Chains A and B, each alone.
Chain A
């Protein structure tokens, strides 16, 4: 087991600040689940607004970071992992039908996964993947004060 993997595993075991324990899963990262009973209109939009702004990096997945239930959600998790982003909030929409529909309405985006950086909707899997490929993701993370692990990897390769 490589050092990187060990560190990742350690991160997965770490519990962060929870969101009140609702629907909390062994979230690799942080709490999953939404405020339950958040069914009604305007109130939910406000709740979601607070939710996506609470953490620098927020993702809504089908499944959890440890056990994504869909290939696209898995791709988002893997991209974040590649960049060494461990401290992010992940919410499992499969646990909460209100959240599943609510977040789609909130962002006016029809699919899950959804990625938010600094409270702003970035896109789904395709967009994150393309941002990863064209280097934008490294820049966006930098704006959040997160140094992408890929930069260090590149340096290692350069110095060899």
Chain B
């Protein structure tokens, strides 16, 4: 399986209809086994953090077993706007 920041970004953007996705390879040597993602999607509206993270986990169900470390942040477009104004 191809595991890259790029492939993860594409998948999250497509499946979660995300407005904005950031994927960072957090592996020291960029060996693409640890990632930090930020996903901004209207699909998160009215959902708890747990429900949001579950959506991301489901989206990447195929990849996650191959990922050593995974951090995620899930925001609605409104929260994302507020975050950027900080």
Contacts and interface: CB of A to CB of B under 8 A. Distances in A.
A88 interface: no
Main secondary structure of the interface of A (DSSP, over half): mixed
User: Size band of the B side of the interface?
Assistant: 10 to 19
A26 interface: no
Interface stretch (B1-9, B10-18, B65-73): B65-73
Given A110-B65, A111-B64, A131-B49, A126 B72 contact: yes
Contacts of A125: 71
Contacts of A124: 53
Interface in B43-75: 49-50, 53-54, 57, 61, 64-65, 69-73
A127 B53 contact: yes
Interface residues of A, number: 16
A110 B62 CA distance: 11
A110 B58 CA distance: 10
B64 A126 contact: no
A111 B50 contact: no
Contact of B49 (A71, A72, A130): A130
A65 B72 CA distance: 23
Contact of B53 (A70, A71, A72, A123): A123
B50 A127 contact: yes
Nearest to A128: B49
Nearest to A123: B50
A122 B50 contact: yes
B49 A123 contact: yes
A127 B57 contact: no
Interface of B: 49-50, 53-54, 57, 61, 64-65, 69-73
